[in-house]
């Protein structure tokens, strides 16, 4: 069976030819941080070295990554070697407790936390609680694309005012789900990223 990373000429090209000119342009534009470099992939034997090379070029930009890391073991070498200035683990991949431990591990190394927050309302509220519980929070990433699984789940909608989301203090995650969600959003078998059916 072919390996997607080592047997794919396009991926190998990305590993071997990182776009450092693009990295320099990011720095010149005074970006605060750059997320998940597509010019330095996170997968492969030399992925951490690639991130360190990019980080070495971007001396005024905070480098972030770690989306999809499921646990401390997967994140450890990245933060131990200093590949990230900001970790972006989230409650969707790691769960609330493990994401908290990952944030604490990053904090002990002086690394900020900005959870990847691109799915629905339940992930947003879980990540908001995570952010409230850690000392190294930077900000809560927010997907502003219309999404009924973000806006249509709760009896009381989440409200962002002046750039802040108040974390509910009711039991559990502090939110109450709307009635009859199973009818509104029925289970559809198959992969989550299948194309829309027309």
pLDDT > 70: what percent of the chain?
74
| Partners of 187 in beta bridges | none
Q: Tokens standing for 46?
A: 């030399």
pLDDT (0 to 100) of residue 14: 57
pLDDT > 90: what percent of the chain?
44
Residue 63 has pLDDT above 70, yes or no: yes
Instruction: Flag the least confident range among 15-19, 56-60, 137-141.
Output: 15-19
Give the residue-averaged pLDDT of 52-78.
Answer: 89
**Cα torsion 90, 96, 99, 104: sign:** positive
Residue 180 has pLDDT above 60, yes or no: yes
Q: How confident is the model at residue 114 (pLDDT cuts 50, 70, 90)?
A: very high
Please state the domain extents for the chain: 66-184
* pTM for the whole structure: 0.77
Instruction: Flag the least confident range among 13-22, 46-55, 122-131.
Output: 13-22
> Of the spans 45-59, 98-112, 118-132, which averages the highest pLDDT?
98-112
Residue 110 has pLDDT above 60, yes or no: yes
- Backbone torsions φ then ψ of 55, nearest 5 degrees: -60, -35
Rounded to the nearest 5 degrees, what angle is found at the Cα of 3, between the Cα atoms of 98 and 35? Answer: 45
Contact call for residues 128 and 100 (beta carbons, < 8 A): no
Instruction: Flag the least confident range among 103-117, 143-157, 163-177.
Output: 143-157
Give the residue-averaged pLDDT of 16-34.
Answer: 61
Candidates 3.30.9.10, 3.20.20.120, 3.90.1640.10, 1.20.1440.230; CATH matching 66-184: 3.20.20.120
Strand order of the sheet with strand 33-35? 33-35, 62-65, 86-87, 112-113
pLDDT (0 to 100) of residue 44: 62
């Amino acid at each position: 069976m072919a390996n997607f990373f080592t047997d794919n000429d396009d991926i190998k090209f990305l590993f071997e030819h990182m776009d450092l000119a693009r990295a320099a342009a990011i720095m010149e534009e005074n970006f605060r941080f750059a997320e998940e470099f597509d010019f330095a992939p996170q997968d492969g034997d030399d992925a951490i070295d690639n991130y360190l090379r990019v980080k070495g070029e971007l001396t005024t930009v905070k480098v972030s990554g770690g989306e999809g890391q499921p646990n401390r073991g997967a994140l450890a070498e990245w933060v131990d070697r200093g590949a990230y200035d900001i970790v972006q683990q989230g409650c969707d991949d790691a769960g609330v407790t493990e994401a908290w431990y990952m944030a604490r591990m990053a904090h002990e190394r002086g690394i900020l936390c900005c959870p990847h927050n691109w799915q629905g309302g339940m992930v947003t509220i879980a990540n908001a609680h995570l952010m409230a519980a850690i000392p190294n929070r930077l900000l809560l990433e927010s997907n502003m694309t219309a999404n009924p699984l973000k806006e249509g789940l709760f009896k009381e909608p989440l409200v962002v005012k002046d750039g802040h989301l108040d974390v509910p203090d009711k039991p559990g995650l502090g939110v109450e789900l709307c009635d009859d969600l199973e009818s509104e959003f029925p289970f559809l078998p198959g992969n989550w990223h299948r194309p829309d059916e027309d």
